[in-house]
Amino acid sequence: MDEQKKNSNKKVKKFYIILGMLLILLIPIAFLSGIVHDRENYRNKAVNQVELAWASAQTIFPPELKIFIPGKKETVEKTLELNNYEAEVKVKTELRKKGIFTVPVYTAEVQLKGDFLNSYGNLKNIKSELSIDVSDSKGFVSQPEFEFMSDEPVINSSKVFTKILNTNEKSLPFEITYQIRGVNQIAVAPGGINNEIEIEGDWSNPSFEGDFLPAEREITDKEFEAEWKIPAIAVSSLSGNSKVPVITEKAGVSFLMPVDNYRMATRAVKYSFLFLALTFLAYFIFEITSRKTKPIHQLQYLMMGGAMLIFYLLLVSLSELMVFAAAYIIAAVMTIGLIGLYTYFVITKKENLKFSLVISGIMAVLYIFLYVLLALQDLSLIIGSLMLFLIMALIMYSTRNVEWDNDNNN
């Protein structure tokens, strides 16, 4: 009786051993997450180095017009309200290499035009300053050209254009053009009562970011065009009566690479424990349902788990040199091949080719399943739930004849 009790608990003991192996493998999983994070930081440093030599992501601020009215004791500075504001940005992108990393940079032609409201009546011999600004002045490629009050365009050596006003017009028109360059993103901050922003470029995978989505957009395989129409009431810093608003909202475009390999790799590592558990479970079911197999040693479980975790290192390192999909296929084929061969030559001792093919097929399905989850982020929850339900049904079906309280299976 005592011997029968010992045998009846062998399956449960083996299950706990496998669970222990899985818990041990949580340690290298944590290291994997750290490695992916370190490589991403290394990539970000490369981007920062390009920014230092080129220019950082740019935000184009609206022009500002100040007038200086002489008083009895001192000159009074006034800021005129920007009325109609149109910003047109044409972007030309290129890819710059920094080591093994590729960084999208751009040069943009900027045209700003509109008018300011003159609420001070007759301006006679009044000094004015029309100024522009961007988030990184180092990115200026050309000197700005100012056309103010319909005069001839003037190339200015600074961001501030000075002019003596003699007018009683209620609307003071302007047009300003210049070129800037930057990295990854460009945005325009609205500043007028009526704002129209148009950004177009030769990038096929734009991501529209900021506080406003474009009212109209068109994206092709080679270029994009987007247009925003933003009234002042929609901009919190403009909806009050402040004459000198601090504008924080913006509308812009990010030039993302088609696939961020580090983001995808980070998400893949999050599924690593589930993959290990399902693969180990397949071997465990094979052990308890096959009459011919010899018990699989816990160290063999650890070696197979280690081989599966190396997949993620291969994925990260290969995706730095090629497109993510190709890196994923190569890493998956290498891992499946290694596990399949180890199962056939070591686990089954060349006596059960069928199981080696089955385990390779199971792993192939799992890796296809993982790629679908990575590619379809918005649908990953429903797809993952359905797949796990199907896997649980298969496990329950495969173990339907197992006598868990007796070591003899029917």
Q: What are residue 383's phi and psi, to 5 degrees?
A: -65, -45
With a pLDDT cut of 90, the percent of the chain lying above it is 54
Using CA atoms, how far apart are residues 251 and 206, in angstroms rounded to an integer? 13
Q: Which of 325, 263, 313, 205 is nearest to 44 (CA)?
A: 263
pLDDT of the residue at 134 = 96
Q: Is a pLDDT exceeding 80 seen at residue 33?
A: yes
The confidence band for 139, taking pLDDT boundaries of 50, 70 and 90, is very high
> Which residue bears the tokens 């788990």?
305
Is the Cβ–Cβ distance between 204 and 224 less than 8 Å?
A: yes
Is the Cβ–Cβ distance between 320 and 261 less than 8 Å?
A: yes
Q: Which of 109, 113, 78, 253 is nearest to 195 (CA)?
A: 113
For range 319-332, the mean pLDDT: 92
The confidence band for 403, taking pLDDT boundaries of 50, 70 and 90, is low
Q: Which of 190, 10, 180, 184 is nearest to 82 (CA)?
A: 190
State the virtual CA torsion across 97, 31, 281, 11 in degrees, nearest 10.
170
Among 46-50, 229-233, 327-331, name the one with the lowest average pLDDT: 46-50
pTM of the model: 0.74
Using CA atoms, how far apart are residues 162 and 128, in angstroms rounded to an integer? 6
Residue pLDDT, tens place only, 340-368: 999 999 888 888 888 889 899 989 999 99
Report the mean per-residue pLDDT for the chain: 87
Q: What are residue 178's phi and psi, to 5 degrees?
A: -165, 170
Q: Is a pLDDT exceeding 70 seen at residue 238?
A: no
Using CA atoms, how far apart are residues 153 and 168, in angstroms rounded to an integer? 21
pLDDT of the residue at 7 = 46
Output 300 or 237, whichever has higher pLDDT: 300
Q: Which residues pair with 108 in a beta bridge?
A: 91, 180
DSSP output for 335-360 = HHHHHHHHIIIIISTTS-HHHHHHHH
Encoded tokens for 5: 């009790």
Domains of the chain with CATH codes: 7-41+261-398 (no CATH), 56-255 (2.60.40)
Residues 6+ apart with CB under 8 A from 219: 204, 206
Q: Is a pLDDT exceeding 70 seen at residue 284?
A: yes
Is the Cβ–Cβ distance between 69 and 120 less than 8 Å?
A: yes
Give 203's DSSP letter.
-
Is the Cβ–Cβ distance between 128 and 165 less than 8 Å?
A: yes
Q: Is a pLDDT exceeding 60 seen at residue 245?
A: no
pLDDT of the residue at 118 = 94
Sign of CA pseudo-dihedral 335, 384, 283, 291: negative
Output 217 or 6, whichever has higher pLDDT: 217
